[in-house]
Structure 1
């Protein structure tokens, strides 16, 4: 297998043009092949002399595409490394962006052909770019390639750095929506990434805040999906979907109003409300892929959290039994389950048949919860300040007392 090895006698780009054209025309016979190779090399040289790097990239990509199935992965990577390097010669951000679009578009065109290698090449291209928007464009191509080529594991680690990327790219709302939704779809394929998928889906929905009803309607399908994913997830008990306008739009939507009602039940009501809803809408739950028994288990935990939010901090066993619709001997079992998933911190007073709650997790954390937290922090800060003042006052008194004692001894 021939490998491209750039030498000092010929420009790497010209060497790639010669190598790819020779391989592309190898079956046409010596005379035809020599004529075509010479013509392509002269054409490439003209573009190099005139600094027409975008046209040169187009020429090289066409040749590379013709021979991609005939060379090893190592050769293909070498060829595209030279092509990608052309972006460093661009004379403006606009030219760099056009070259990035051209090259990344060609690389990602066949996601099922050597997807891991193509993804690696796109990462290399990304690192050569200086224009933030060019980087974003290439990243989106890599994201879609990873999804369509089923090699998402190579790009998922980068999601942890997304906040930093967003600051660097400084992209608009429309691009943010595309980014968040694509990431959510990539993660959705992996069951172990359900929480992260939901997180980026809610980021997507949050971008519609402040938009008109017509624009928000674009997110209707994803809003329904977010509700279903939250209800289905056995380990998610808190979300802010109810505060999102794109989700709130479903309340008055004839087709999806019941789905919105289901969300309100899970976030603001108890098991009895869910059972009534199921009795009237069992078909809807099945169409959404929701399992009734799983919903009951989750609603029992959600209902227990609601009971824990009582200001008294005490829940009688009998109230838990009746609210969760369980037997007496199951009460402590469900309390332990709630503790295990960190929904509540409490002690069980078996003698008095009471659960003493010291902490609970709010099902909804919106404006009211933020205000309550601010009040608690303000109180805590004031208490600390009082403690510090008392300590300082006592220290002054103690120092004065020691000074007086010293004078008396003298």
Structure 2
């Protein structure tokens, strides 16, 4: 696929409009007698209308001529101020099979559509419809990989095309469908989330059909996230109004999300008992959910402990596994990036270095508050110890200083009581 650009590109072909139109008409088996009078009367739009109407014939011309012929047609259409009127039939034709080239036909059609896209101004809303045609062609021919590198620009394009929420949503859903059909689960999931976020921006009340579509889309996203082997953070879901509204329309799904967001394996088992057969009826594989719930239980356990270590027997109880399987499950949780730590076989302990939360909600805030209180108490104890040591050091310093002063005073007193040596033997001599 030729690169899609964010700027308008230009196409230059040597020759006047009249010469080129006659050349293409001949190629399309349109008689010059039909085209020449229109050209003489400067009825270019009538000429273009005739050429575009007959352009479906280009799908059967030899492969070597296909690109040149379509480029010529696109160039001629681009000369008209009414270019948008001619693009829809061209796009429709390019979605049809290229009978002259069954193998390379999809690639040839994709290059022609890319040329059309690039010739339009970035803010031309028709660009959006051309892009949708490109996506449909990609979908029909399994060419998703050729499109993936362009999808990073889609959000900006939607803004440039001034799409409303409904149009943007349909575009995101289309991309999500194509990605899913090509086995790109995570990419599909991200575009479903983009589609769901458009409901947060809706200013008008949804009708019954739109509300049903929203609920189906929300459940679709929820199912993907629950069954994914790499998705463990559910905040991207719980923050969406479309997901939050499931608590009223689909309370069992909402309850299941709450369990995977912040509860543990025991809660999931209780859910299974209470809603027997629900996961099977909804196409949710219980073995996958059960394994994921075990993986999610360990970081919750690690986050809730005030100590930085977990006993093997406590892990075994929470995950409902034999003690000999503890290390295997801890390693799986570490590989999933949910915790960091070190196993101590000698102590039968998991030493915790770091853990993550699935959703940071009220329960997690309470745990943080508890830890802060514990740290505060520890700091207070350290402060008291330091204060006592400082007082003891100051007291000792004063005692040492008093002792030094006392000794100095004693030494001074002893020196004052002495007489100079030989003073008592001095005899004063006088004269009579």
| TM-score, normalisation: structure 1 | 0.74
**Partners of 2:226 and 2:289 within 8 A in 1:** yes
Q: Given the alignment of the two structures, is residue 200 of structure 1 paired with residue 191 of structure 2, yes or no?
A: yes
The 5-angstrom pairing of residues 76-115 of structure 1 reads: 76-91=66-81, 95-109=82-96, 114-115=105-106
Q: Given the alignment of the two structures, is residue 342 of structure 1 paired with residue 337 of structure 2, yes or no?
A: yes
Q: CA deviation at 1:219?
A: 1.4
1:140 matched residue in structure 2: 132
Out of 326, 343, 346, the residue aligned to residue 331 of structure 1 is 326
How far apart in 2 are the matches of 1:369 and 1:137?
46
C-alpha distance 88-61 of structure 1, shift in aligned 2 (>3 A)? closer
Q: CA deviation at 1:186?
A: 0.8
C-alpha distance 124-210 of structure 1, shift in aligned 2 (>3 A)? closer
Q: CA deviation at 1:356?
A: 2.9
CA deviations on 1:165-191 (whole Å, 9 max, x unpaired) are 345444332222112111111110122
2:25 matched residue in structure 1: 17
Q: CA deviation at 1:122?
A: 0.6
C-alpha distance 124-247 of structure 1, shift in aligned 2 (>3 A)? same
> Residue 310 of structure 2 aligns to a residue in which SS?
strand
Aligned residues: 343
The 5-angstrom pairing of residues 3-402 of structure 1 reads: 8=15, 11-21=19-29, 37-42=31-36, 45=39, 49-52=42-45, 55-66=46-57, 68-69=59-60, 71-91=61-81, 95-109=82-96, 114-132=105-123, 133-191=125-183, 193-211=184-202, 212=205, 214=207, 215-239=210-234, 240-253=236-249, 256-310=250-304, 312=306, 313-364=308-359
**Partners of 1:314 and 1:354 within 8 A in 2:** yes
Q: CA deviation at 1:12?
A: 2.2
Q: CA deviation at 1:314?
A: 3.4
How far apart in 2 are the matches of 1:365 and 1:160?
29
How far apart in 2 are the matches of 1:98 and 1:366?
53
Structure number with greater Rg is 2
Unaligned runs of 5+ in 1: 1-5, 23-36, 374-410
1:406 matched residue in structure 2: none
C-alpha distance 89-364 of structure 1, shift in aligned 2 (>3 A)? farther
CA deviations on 1:129-164 (whole Å, 9 max, x unpaired) are 115222222111111221123322322221233344
Q: CA deviation at 1:197?
A: 0.8
How far apart in 2 are the matches of 1:138 and 1:345?
48
Unaligned runs of 5+ in 2: 1-12, 369-432
C-alpha distance 138-367 of structure 1, shift in aligned 2 (>3 A)? farther
> Residue 238 of structure 1 aligns to a residue in which SS?
coil
Q: CA deviation at 1:302?
A: 1.0
How far apart in 1 are the matches of 2:291 and 2:347?
26
Q: CA deviation at 1:311?
A: 5.6
| TM-score, normalisation: structure 2 | 0.71
Q: CA deviation at 1:43?
A: 5.9
Q: CA deviation at 1:252?
A: 1.4
**Structure ranking higher on relative contact order (CA contacts 8 Å, 6+ apart):** 2
Q: CA deviation at 1:201?
A: 0.6
